[in-house]
Structure 1
Amino acid sequence: MTADRITLKGLRARGRHGVLAAERELGQEFVLDVTLFLDTAPAAAGDDLTLTVHYGELAEALVKVVEGEPVELIETLAQRLADVCLASELVERAEVSVHKPAAPIPLPFDDVVVTIERSRL
C-alpha cells in the first residue's frame, strides 16, 4: 500500500439529505474532506496529469453527488462519495468525511462528521 495522498478539504455543496422533511425541503450545506491514497510517482516522473487524479474533476463529481438524489443518512452519502473516489483505478484507498454543520440538533455544537474509509477490493 502506498503512502502518497491527494487531499481535498473543505469542499462545500448544498444538498437535501436528512431524515426530517424540512431537511429535504430546505436543504443545507455539506462540507467534504476527501483523501485519496495512490502512487503519485509515475505522474511526478513524467509530469503527466493522466497518471494521477485530476482533483478539479474529482471536486466537480463529488459536488454532483451532494447536489443529487437525497438520502436520509450521511453515512449513505459518504459511501456514494467514496464510490466516486474509487472510480479511478489509480486510487487504492479513499477516506471520506462528510460534515453536516447545520444538523438539526437543538443544542450548541460545532459539527457532525461521518468519516469512512474504503479500499479497492
Structure 2
Amino acid sequence: MTDELSIVGVECYGHHGVFEFERREGQIFVVDLTLGLDTRPAAASDDLADTVDYGTLVAAVKAAVENDPVDLIEKVAQRVADVCLLDPRVEWTRVTLHKPDAPIDATFSDVALTITRKRTTSP
C-alpha cells in the first residue's frame, strides 16, 4: 500500500524545444508531481528524516528542468521522474510537465505530458 504526496505547480524556466528561438529565449515550464510512498514511518515518528523532504526534492526538480536544454518535453519529464525515484522510499512517481507557451499557431491553454514511472528492481 502506498500513500500519495503531491506537489503542484512548480514553475521553472527552461530552454527546451525544437526551435532555435525556444533554446535562445527560454520559457516557463510547470511541473506537477505525485509520489507514491509509505508515510506511516513519518506519521509515527514526526521526523522529516522518515519521509521525502519535498523542499529538497523541488530544488532538484527545478535544476533538472532548468539545466541542459533538450528538444522534447518527453525527455524533460523522464529526467524529472528519475530525480523523484532517487529517494528509495518513493515507489512510483507521476510527473506532469506543462508547456503553456508552446509554439502552436492556435489558441490553446496548455500542452501537458503526464508520465508514470515505477521503481525497478533487479531480478
TM bucket (normalised to shorter chain) is over 0.9
Matched residue, 1:23: 22
Q: Secondary structure at the match of 2:91?
A: strand
Matched residue, 2:9: 10
Count of paired positions: 120
Compute the TM-score of the two structures, normalised by the length of structure 1: 0.98
Q: Percent identity?
A: 53
Matched residue, 2:54: 55
Compute the TM-score of the two structures, normalised by the length of structure 2: 0.96
Q: Secondary structure at the match of 1:91?
A: coil
Matched residue, 2:105: 106
Residue 58 of structure 1 deviates from its aligned partner by 0.6
Residue 66 of structure 1 deviates from its aligned partner by 1.0
Residue 48 of structure 1 deviates from its aligned partner by 1.2
Cα distance in 2 for residues equivalent to 1:12 and 1:98? 10
Note the alpha carbon deviations across 1:41-79, whole angstroms, 9 max, x for none: 001101011110011111100000111000100000000
Q: Secondary structure at the match of 1:64?
A: helix
Cα distance in 2 for residues equivalent to 1:10 and 1:52? 21
**Displaced runs of 4 or more, over 2 A:** none
1:92 aligns with 2:94: no
Cα distance in 2 for residues equivalent to 1:68 and 1:77? 10
Cα RMSD for the two superposed structures: 0.6
Cα distance in 2 for residues equivalent to 1:68 and 1:16? 8
Cα distance in 2 for residues equivalent to 1:44 and 1:58? 19
